[in-house]
Structure 1
């Protein structure tokens, strides 16, 4: 009797598991439609933004388009207001959010993220010819620039010592102009934003090794769309392994920032 009960229990668990997977038709739905609809803020360089001709370009755009090709589907981009992007996802206006979205505990309560595909965060930019600083630990008693209202201001508090001067700027380009002119020693800035500036102006600035604070990026899906998330994750894992993500990263950031071993 105990064996029969055990067999019945096992059979029931298998049936329930099969039903659960069958109920998640998210990948089959996307596959049948032949497209993955992605929500994004299309004014976030270098992750996703418009060029002079209005074409959508960027790191996330290239990565997602490559995933689409490997899965045999097209990518349809759906620009949306960022302050309501999670609500729009859960309202099924698109299939996922792929736009340099930071993984946070608060967001993880509402959506299901992939593993981080880029480690973002706050970094320190110095002049390319700067020899005083080898790493963040060397940034002691320096003049620092940061954008007003940004998370860079919180990161400044994590420097080895308080800056001798903290200048707040309306935008990062103005801070970098002061850095270039020698009026400040370092600019604390978002990693991907800083690397975008460096890639566009090679030989002018450099980023010191390491992060002042870390903010991982992930692709966000509705919690119930487990099959779709797993399909995209598997493809991203393959792209990291075969060097495709590294190639895309070097195109936009002049180096590979997608390798988890370097985070």
Structure 2
């Protein structure tokens, strides 16, 4: 009997040792990571005129702060999937197309200037916040406009498909401003309407207005009004219900924030000369964004 017990114990120990020596079962991939592994390609969505987040340089190559952040995510995905030859495909998006192209699987990771909103979370998902903006007005210096009150009854412009457009429509109704609101297809077209006098002012996030103004042919012809309105935080965007991919994105961004690399990238794009004209936006990091780098969050405004 004792022999049988000793034999059984020895057999169990052998099985345990054998199991410990066997390689761990590969993690089963799902969602976006599975798609990337199977295709060998990650598709990045970029904006063409969202300076300094995501825009085209003189060679029509997408560059910017968000593009650099996404570059780090791509490297993390390569490592996660052991895909040293991972291909990166670039797909242009604008304010109207970005959500549906992410939701339907065309774009894996959107790297632009997209605000994290509760309403949008019904269609897509977001990373931890990467920027905090405010809505402001841009107008021509010779417009005679010094405050939002001067805009009553005038023609103004906002970019189609943005949270700014939603905010402006609500503001127009609640404050009875009697604005005629035109929608540009992108920020470049919206700015052009002000530049050519077809609109009195352009409402958008303060940093995006700073970007289009700085890159104008004659920046001194334009001004940004002091009045500011609270806006939603920016984040990278990807498909909903994909916790494994979200974990890779968030871990990458939080790692950059904790190491100081995020602050270095911010200084590169917001406080240094940037392509294509070598303009320095001179836009220091806000106290709110500093707090979010210390305590990262993926929460939208309520």
TM-score in same-fold range (> 0.5) = yes
Shift of 1:30: 8.2
Partner of 1:79: 91
Cα separation, 2, equivalents of 1:54 and 1:197: 17
Paired residues of 1:126 and 1:205 also in contact (CA < 8 A): yes
TM (normalized to structure 2)?
0.56
Is residue 2:289 matched to residue 1:260? yes
Cα separation, 1, equivalents of 2:205 and 2:248: 30
Cα separation, 2, equivalents of 1:123 and 1:210: 6
Alignment of 1:43-192 (within 5 A): 43-46=48-51, 47-69=53-75, 76-79=88-91, 83=96, 85-125=98-138, 139-141=148-150, 146-147=156-157, 151=165, 153-154=168-169, 157=172, 171-176=190-195, 187-192=202-207
Aligned to 1:225, which of 218, 242, 254? 242
C-alpha spacing 1:174/1:224, structure 2 compared with 1 (3 Å): closer
3-state SS of paired residue (2:110): strand
TM (normalized to structure 1)?
0.62
Paired residues of 1:117 and 1:217 also in contact (CA < 8 A): yes
C-alpha spacing 1:204/1:191, structure 2 compared with 1 (3 Å): same
Aligned to 2:266, which of 246, 251, 262? 246
Root mean square deviation, CA, Å: 4.5
Aligned to 1:198, which of 204, 213, 218? 213
Cα separation, 2, equivalents of 1:240 and 1:113: 17
Paired residues of 1:40 and 1:48 also in contact (CA < 8 A): no
Cα separation, 1, equivalents of 2:256 and 2:61: 24
Partner of 2:22: none
Shift of 1:153: 3.9
How many equivalent residue pairs? Answer: 231
Cα separation, 2, equivalents of 1:32 and 1:55: 25
Cα separation, 1, equivalents of 2:245 and 2:257: 19
Query: Deviations 1:93-150 (Å, cap 9, x if unpaired)?
Result: 4432223223222321232211221234521336789xx97xxxx6545566621675
Greater Rg by CA: 2
Partner of 1:16: none
